[in-house]
């Protein structure tokens, strides 16, 4: 036992001696004379020359992820990692005294009085929301991005522009009744157009509770970023993350917009596959044209002669009908002459005009 104590004391004394030497050697030397300053400048110039010479060799890492690039360069859902979420500050929650009781399953712990959100649950829930958006857009649905804070407006606008015609955004104050009172806002267009979206993504749900109520009344699924002070049950697909971080909102909106574009691409592929199946189901008989029947010159001549005879017969019939009408009018004229002048005066102007016309035709024929 005494030998062990002696060895431990010796080791401790050696450690103190080595540490004191290291501390004393690590202290910079004092520059007292002019020669000391000149030596320092020479050593600095030598190191600078070595750095310039060695910088020609090796490689330079240029493809690095930067949080401020998240707005314009969104990542795919399958490429989103925990590092990206942590770099965007998505794991910071509110004070532990403000934590909602229903948010406890999504909390990893607390540090310095701040709730730390569990990113191991945030990432799969973000990918689940992305799969929902992908399925909606694959069925030709529409999506609405809502970010009413000034710093969230560009994220909502860029996400909608990235999707195209199937996406819209609200970057300012939500107008009450935009969904529930749509007939007053859109008029007849609400009947012909789809004014109610198939999915709504809310980047700041706590400031848009009235929008969430309208979505619930219209049975519209909602996706939202839920912080530690918010009840996750207010949206259908919650994403536990920091709702006060602009980078987090840009990351979530970008991932969901890329998922929407993937859904549109799937729809186009399905449409192309349907066309291919329709074309493959057609047989060679559908593409072959039926041969034209050979025409007999004699049959054509007989058909033309029959048509000419029918035309002549129709002309003769019309002439006979005209002669019958003329004879009837002549009989009416003779009866009028016998009736006397008083009866002629009583005749209507229309009858007199008909009589004059008949006399003129009779004279022309004679």
| 101-159 pLDDT tens trace | 999 999 999 999 999 999 999 999 999 999 999 999 999 999 999 999 999 999 999 99
Dihedral sign, Cα of residue 96, residue 150, residue 260, residue 62 = negative
Which residue stretches of the chain are H helix? 2-26, 34-54, 82-87, 119-138, 153-163, 182-186, 189-192, 209-217, 246-281, 284-287, 297-339, 341-346, 349-365
Per-residue pLDDT of 85-117, as tens digits, reads 999 999 999 999 999 999 999 999 999 999 999
Query: Which residues have C-beta within 8 Å of that of residue 217, sequence separation ≥ 6?
Result: 179, 180
Share of the chain above pLDDT 70, in %: 74
Place of tokens 């619930």: 216
Per-residue pLDDT of 269-278, as tens digits, reads 888 888 888 8
Answer yes or no: is pLDDT of 24 > 50: no
CB 197 within 8 A of CB 144: yes
Of 231, 230, 243, which is closest to residue 201 (Cα–Cα)? 243
Q: What are phi and psi of 275, to 5 degrees?
A: -65, -40
CB 266 within 8 A of CB 138: yes
Domains in the chain: boundaries: 67-181+191-274, 319-366
Answer yes or no: is pLDDT of 326 > 80: no
Q: What strand order describes the sheet that includes 107-111? A: 92-95, 114-117, 107-111
| For residues 73-92, average pLDDT | 91
Share of the chain above pLDDT 90, in %: 45
Residues paired with residue 237 on neighbouring β-strands, in sequence order: 223
* 147-161, 188-202, 350-364: least confident range: 350-364
Reported as half-sphere exposure (CB side, CA atoms, 13 A), residue 104 has a value of 3
CA pair distance 72, 159, nearest whole angstrom: 9
Answer yes or no: is pLDDT of 17 > 80: no
pLDDT, averaged across the chain: 81
CATH of domain 67-181+191-274: 3.40.50.10490
């Amino acid at each position: 036992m005494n030998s062990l104590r002696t060895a431990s004391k010796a080791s401790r004394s050696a450690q103190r001696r080595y540490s004191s030497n290291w501390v004393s050697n690590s202290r910079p030397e004092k520059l007292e004379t002019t020669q000391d300053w000149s030596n320092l400048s020479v050593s600095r110039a030598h190191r600078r020359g070595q750095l310039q010479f060695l910088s020609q060799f090796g490689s330079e890492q240029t493809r690095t992820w930067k949080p401020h690039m998240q707005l314009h360069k969104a990542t795919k859902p399958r490429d989103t990692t925990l590092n990206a979420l942590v770099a965007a500050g998505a794991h910071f929650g509110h004070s532990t005294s403000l934590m909602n009781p229903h948010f406890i399953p999504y909390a990893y712990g607390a540090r310095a009085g701040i709730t730390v959100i569990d990113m191991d649950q945030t990432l799969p829930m973000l990918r689940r929301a992305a799969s929902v958006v992908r399925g909606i857009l694959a069925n030709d649905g529409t999506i609405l991005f809502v970010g009413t804070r000034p710093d969230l407006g560009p994220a909502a606008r860029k996400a909608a522009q990235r999707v195209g015609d199937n996406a819209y955004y609200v970057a300012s104050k939500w107008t009450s009744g935009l969904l529930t009172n749509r007939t007053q806002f859109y008029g007849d267009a609400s009947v012909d157009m789809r004014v109610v979206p198939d999915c709504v993504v809310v980047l700041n749900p706590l400031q848009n509770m009235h929008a969430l109520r309208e979505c619930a009344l219209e049975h519209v699924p909602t996706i939202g970023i839920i912080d530690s002070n918010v009840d996750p049950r207010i949206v259908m697909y919650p994403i536990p993350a920091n709702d006060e971080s602009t980078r987090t909102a840009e990351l979530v909106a970008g991932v969901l917009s890329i998922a929407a574009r993937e859904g549109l691409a799937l729809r186009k592929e399905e449409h192309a596959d349907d066309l291919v199946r329709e074309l493959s189901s057609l047989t060679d008989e559908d593409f072959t044209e039926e041969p034209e029947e050979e025409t007999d010159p004699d049959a054509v001549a007989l058909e033309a002669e029959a048509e000419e005879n029918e035309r002549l017969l129709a002309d003769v019939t019309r002439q006979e009908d005209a002669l019958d009408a003329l004879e009837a009018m002549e009989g009416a004229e003779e009866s009028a002459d016998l009736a006397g002048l008083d009866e002629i005066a009583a005749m209507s102007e229309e009858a007199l005009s008909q009589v004059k016309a008949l006399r003129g035709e009779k004279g022309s024929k004679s």
